[in-house]
């Protein structure tokens, strides 16, 4: 057979693709476009009824009275530290993290104490965390890296 494989420019083995699933995208897209149109026509892009609906749905889902949507993880971290009323001391953060983690901590007037990361998960090392935690430590800010949730390693 002299035909080249598809990866080298030949014809694909299957001309017709067989769908594994067939999501109802048309209905989803039509509903979403209506929502986008409503948002754009309102000229209230960031604080409109959809944000309120999201906050209410999230609060109901987790079983609390209120929920606040934020524009970024940075602002969410800043709000959490303020809500905890942490005013002095240090925050333990992973040495491998986005700069926003440290920015939120410094914005709250806390000092930063870097914790080494585990070479397998890239998350905060529990062993180093235990070594670096002191009486000045007020908050631990773990970061989930590459889909690896922060947790105590066995």
pLDDT in tens, 5-23: 777 887 776 666 666 667 7
pLDDT of residue 17: 67
Give the pLDDT band (50/70/90) at residue 154. very low
Does the reported pTM lie above 0.75? no
Listing DSSP states for 102-130 in one string gives HHHHHHTTPEEEEE-B-TTT-SBPHHHHH
131 and 92 in one domain?
Answer: yes
Count of the separate structural domains present in the chain: 2
126 and 92 in one domain?
Answer: yes
Contact partners, residue 4, CB within 8 Å, separation at least 6: 10
Contact partners, residue 132, CB within 8 Å, separation at least 6: 92, 113, 115
Let me know if residue 127 belongs to a domain: yes
152 has pLDDT over 80: no
Q: Which of 62, 77, 107 is the last residue of a domain?
A: 62
pLDDT of residue 85: 93
47 has pLDDT over 50: yes
Q: Please report where in the chains the tokens 């870097």 appear, as a residue.
A: 114
89 and 58 in one domain?
Answer: no
CA 58 to chain CA mean position, Å: 15
95 and 58 in one domain?
Answer: no
Let me know if residue 135 belongs to a domain: yes
Let me know if residue 147 belongs to a domain: no
134 and 100 in one domain?
Answer: yes
pLDDT in tens, 87-146: 899 999 999 999 999 999 999 999 999 999 998 888 999 999 999 999 999 999 999 888
Q: Which domain holds residue 113?
A: 85-140
């Amino acid at each position: 057979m002299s035909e080249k494989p598809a990866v080298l420019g030949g014809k694909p083995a299957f001309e017709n693709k067989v769908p594994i699933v067939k999501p109802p995208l048309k209905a989803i897209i039509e509903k979403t476009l209506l929502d986008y149109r409503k948002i754009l026509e309102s000229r209230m892009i960031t604080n409109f009824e959809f944000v309120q609906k999201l906050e209410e749905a999230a609060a109901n889902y987790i079983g609390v009275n209120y929920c606040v949507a934020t524009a970024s993880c940075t602002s969410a971290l800043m709000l959490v530290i303020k809500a905890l009323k942490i005013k002095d001391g240090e925050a333990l953060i992973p040495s491998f993290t986005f700069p926003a983690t440290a920015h939120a901590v410094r914005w709250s007037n806390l000092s930063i104490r870097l914790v080494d990361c585990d070479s397998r998960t890239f998350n905060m090392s529990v062993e180093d965390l235990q070594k670096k935690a002191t009486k000045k430590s007020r908050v631990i800010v773990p970061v989930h890296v590459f889909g690896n949730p922060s947790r105590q390693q066995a």
